[in-house]
Amino acid sequence: MSLVRRHPLLSIAALLVLGACALIVWSFTIVWRAAHHDDAAEVQTADAIIVLGAAQWNGTPSPVLKGRLDHALLLYQQDRAPRVILVGSNQPGDRTTEAASGRAYLIAKGVPPEAITAIPVGHTSWESLQAAASEMRSLGLRTAFLVSDPWHNARIKRMFDDLGMQGYTSATWTSAYDTERSRFGQYVRETFAYLDYRIFGGH
């Protein structure tokens, strides 16, 4: 401590390190708490259900996307919302999009085509939610259940709120990330993603 007091630059560096650590802990706490809270337990209905995209393989949803679609299907079958909005673009070489493959999957599960809106836009959560919010405004809608993986809850809810909409997160735990190690890795990744969004804004 005496060394730090004698060298102001060391004091500043120490304060910066402590501040950075505090921000990381703060972000992790928010992400963790949001992941373990399901707004659908408190909110009965919304205008729509928005499913955030994930990988698809030639029209077949990946396990991550399938988990999200199955959860959205459950909410729809519970009459939580009359419309499902699917977002997600494609990767170079793909023959279809995440939104289109999700639409085909839900129709095969019995959801009426007219109840599904597929928006083939979004390589990031921000782009996807921008597109979904724009579509909802055109339909006069404002509230939505946001379906993704749990560790995304805090960030996508904040994004949707920043877009002037009301989002209720309701995540699926039945994705490809089914081990403690893989889930912890996602929490760490999302901790920095949430912090990045809060500091630098939408991208």
Give domain status of residue 23, yes or no.
no
Mean of the per-residue pLDDT values of the chain: 91
* pLDDT given at position 16: 80
Report CA-CA distances (Å) from 28 to 35, 63, 191. 10, 25, 5
Give domain status of residue 169, yes or no.
yes
Give domain status of residue 43, yes or no.
yes
Provide the 10 A C-beta neighbour count for residue 202. Answer: 14
Query: By residue range, what is the domain housing residue 176?
Result: 35-200
What digits encode the pLDDT tens for the residues 76-107? 999 999 999 999 998 877 789 999 999 999 99
Give the total number of structural domains in the chain. 1
CA–CA gap between residue 49 and residue 73 (Å, rounded): 9
User: Are 102 and 53 spatial neighbours (Cβ–Cβ below 8 Å)?
Assistant: yes
Q: Which of 59-63, 181-185, 192-196 has the lowest mean pLDDT?
A: 181-185
| SS3 per residue for 73-84 | HHHHHCCCCCCE
Give domain status of residue 27, yes or no.
no
Give domain status of residue 50, yes or no.
yes
The CATH number of residue 95's host domain is 3.40.50.620
What digits encode the pLDDT tens for the residues 157-171? 999 999 999 999 999
* pLDDT given at position 17: 80
* pLDDT given at position 77: 98
Report CA-CA distances (Å) from 31 to 137, 152, 191. 28, 7, 6
Give domain status of residue 156, yes or no.
yes
Give domain status of residue 95, yes or no.
yes
Q: Which long-range contacts (CB under 8 A, 24 or more apart) does 91-99 make?
A: 91/55, 94/56, 94/58, 95/58, 95/59, 96/56, 96/58, 96/59, 97/53, 97/56, 98/53, 98/54, 98/55, 98/56, 98/61, 98/65, 98/122, 99/53
Please give the distance of CA 23 from its chain centroid, rounded to a whole number. 21
pLDDT band at 5 (very low <50, low <70, confident <90, very high): low
* pLDDT given at position 176: 66
Contacts of 4 (CB under 8 A, 6+ apart): 10, 11, 14
pLDDT band at 6 (very low <50, low <70, confident <90, very high): low
Give domain status of residue 20, yes or no.
no
Contacts of 132 (CB under 8 A, 6+ apart): 50, 85, 87, 119, 144
pLDDT band at 132 (very low <50, low <70, confident <90, very high): very high
**What is the mean pLDDT of the segment spanning 120-144?**
95
Tokens of 118: 């597929």
